[in-house]
Structure 1
Amino acid sequence: MKGLLLRALKTGEKLEMIYLSAKGEITQRIIKVEKVGEESFRAFCYSKRQQRTFKINNILSIVPLRHHKRGA
């Protein structure tokens, strides 16, 4: 998981994350990683439209953002 965060930091790739908040709420977010630490990381959250700090242990799922193609 940390490897994916570091790769996204290096490439600027957006990630789709399912996250468990400190309040016990599960949220789905689109993020762009800005800094990775030992236990947490900082990212721009497109859902909240602001920079947020996330705990790595609270990530339930994280994958590269897939671009959906529209058409027939």
Structure 2
Amino acid sequence: MKEQLMKAMQHNQLVDLMYISQSGEITKRRVKLIKNFGDRFQAFCFTKHAKRTFITDNVLAVMPVLRKERVVI
């Protein structure tokens, strides 16, 4: 899992995460990785529209975003 996150950060790629919070809630987050701190990493979360710190061990799945979704208004 950690290798996938590092690769996404090196290529400046967006990823979709399945993440389990400290309270046990599972969420899907689209993030852009910013910095790695060993067992944690910082990313911009497009779900919360803010920088967040995630625990690497709480990441259940990583899926690279192959194309950006466009919204028609």
Normalised by the length of structure 2, the TM-score is 0.86
What is the Cα deviation at residue 67 of structure 1? 2.7
**After TM superposition, what 4+ stretches of structure 1 lie above 4 angstroms from structure 2?**
none
Distance in 2, matches of 1:10 and 1:68, equals 18
Which residue number in structure 1 is paired with residue 23 of structure 2? 23
> Is the CA contact 1:18–1:29 (under 8 Å) kept in the aligned structure 2?
yes
Which residue number in structure 1 is paired with residue 54 of structure 2? 54
**How many pairs does the alignment contain?**
69
Distance in 2, matches of 1:45 and 1:10, equals 17
Normalised by the length of structure 1, the TM-score is 0.87
Structure 2: give runs of 5+ residues left out of the alignment.
none
1:33 aligns to 2:33 (yes or no): yes
